[in-house]
Structure 1
């Protein structure tokens, strides 16, 4: 099929070119993101390939359908940026990559936890300046702590397994209680108990109307004083202004983010020569107990290879009229 791949970074092009040799699709790589202005660039394509911050609204989908596009191929797990109802009405199929390397995100979650706890990022900068003082660098033993995981899909379960290896007690909340998670030693519970007992809370759930701003003033108030909060899932699960209030009153003692609700205008681009206009984001950066990475948790060689291969297989299945096992419906 003729495929237009929007938001194509050099690494996207590398892995998709390598994987495409086995599938035979003709891929047109565009550096620009998909939105109402750029949708016209998909002219001649039967499928478009998009990422987490591309705009796949009803208006964009209407324009794509008018151009002859039949398939929206997401090269990610999340699909909250796609108007699925509009896609269905227009006869457009939507497919995604439901799982690539759960180890990538799970291991990055632990990187955030360990860095915030042991303050290795601050220690690194001190030592480079010849400052070997330990004051302000004290952490805590992860062993024996209670970690609450909200979302026990593949990534959540891998995270649970790693945490159990550290000797943590793991509480879990999910609409589905998997036997695999129970076998790992996860104690399933409700959110009230998870908030009240967890020293660390890590988010691994999709962004849905039910999880939008799941972490808000009310839920933060239920948490233990000095809690560590980690989010490597979707930015909208957290009400950022409520979290800032929690940081200011020290209810939240540590915050690790790989995602941000308004990241679409910030992440995946070099903003170093610009004045960032997002005051809420800049307020987050002003806290010395906040660690932010730019949506890189997924970014490993293994994950990128999986993403390219699964995305192209989804496109081949559509082209050949096979069942779309990774199709997303309203």
Structure 2
């Protein structure tokens, strides 16, 4: 993602408690969240969901952002407070919102709902917006992502087979 955005000549800002040397080599500038929110035209989320970042993008965060900001979430649905996002869309704080994930997605994205009436009013309000796009967990379906998943899985199995430490092992 960073390489693509850099190709468009974008200034690359990031917030991460664990800065990446590879990102720094691409010219990423690590900043605090208020700076990231106030200076970004595009905010793309690439992080796990933890108790500390639940609703990372909430009313207070949206208030700090530029008007018309583009937000993309391909990580975890609960990183965005969906109700606050609706208000930010109505107030034109968010100019466009791309969501591959949604915080209450369990009953929406994993089976065909074509003939069902969607009961989730927040989802219905979001999906009624012309500037909101849901892709329903399709972001992983790229050659790069599938290759990465395969390589990580094989490395994990190899580490376990050899009795080595596996960085992705769940305890």
User: Normalising to structure 2: TM-score of the pair?
Assistant: 0.90
Q: 1:227 to 1:310 in 2, by over 3 A?
A: closer
Task: Confirm or deny that 1:264 pairs with 2:106.
Answer: yes
Aligned length: 171
2:29 to 187, 194, 219: 187
Map of 1:284 onto structure 2: 126
1:176 corresponding residue in structure 2: 18
Give the superposition deviation at 1:239.
Answer: 0.4
Show the counterpart of 1:327.
169
Q: Secondary structure at the match of 2:18?
A: coil
What residue number does 1:166 align with? 8
- State the Cα RMSD in Å: 1.9
CA deviation after TM superposition for structure 1 residue 308, in Å: 4.7
User: How far apart are residue 301 of structure 1 and its match?
Assistant: 4.3
Higher RCO by CA contacts (8 Å cutoff, separation 6 or greater): 1
Distance of 1:323 and 1:309 partners within structure 2: 16
Q: Rg: which structure is higher?
A: 1
- Any runs of at least 4 consecutive aligned residues in structure 1 with deviations exceeding 6 A, and if so which? none
Partner Cα separation in structure 2 for residue 290 and residue 189 of structure 1: 27
Deviations 1:266-301 (A, max 9, x none): 113211021111111111011001111011101124
* Structure 2 CA distance for aligned equivalents of residues 288 and 207 of structure 1: 27
Distance 1:167 1:305, change over 3 A: closer
Does residue 95 of structure 2 align to residue 253 of structure 1? yes
CA separation in 2, counterparts of 1:249 and 1:224? 12
**1:114-145, Cα deviation, whole Å (9 max, x unpaired):** xxxxxxxxxxxxxxxxxxxxxxxxxxxxxxxx
Please name the residue that 1:225 is paired with.
67
The equivalent of 1:236 in structure 2 is 78
What 5-or-longer segments of structure 1 have no aligned partner?
1-158
Gaps of 5+ in 2: none
Corresponding position: 1:213 with 2:55: yes
C-alpha change, 1:311 and 1:177, in structure 2 (3 Å) is closer
Looking at structure 2, the residues matched to 296 and 283 of structure 1 have their Cα atoms a distance apart, in angstroms, of 21
Report Cα offsets for 1:29-76 as digits up to 9, x if no partner.
xxxxxxxxxxxxxxxxxxxxxxxxxxxxxxxxxxxxxxxxxxxxxxxx
Instruction: For 2:151 and 2:38, locate their aligned partners in 1 and report how far apart those are by CA, in whole Å.
Output: 42
Shift of 1:207: 0.4
TM-score (norm 1): 0.48
User: Residue in 2 aligned with 1:314?
Assistant: 156
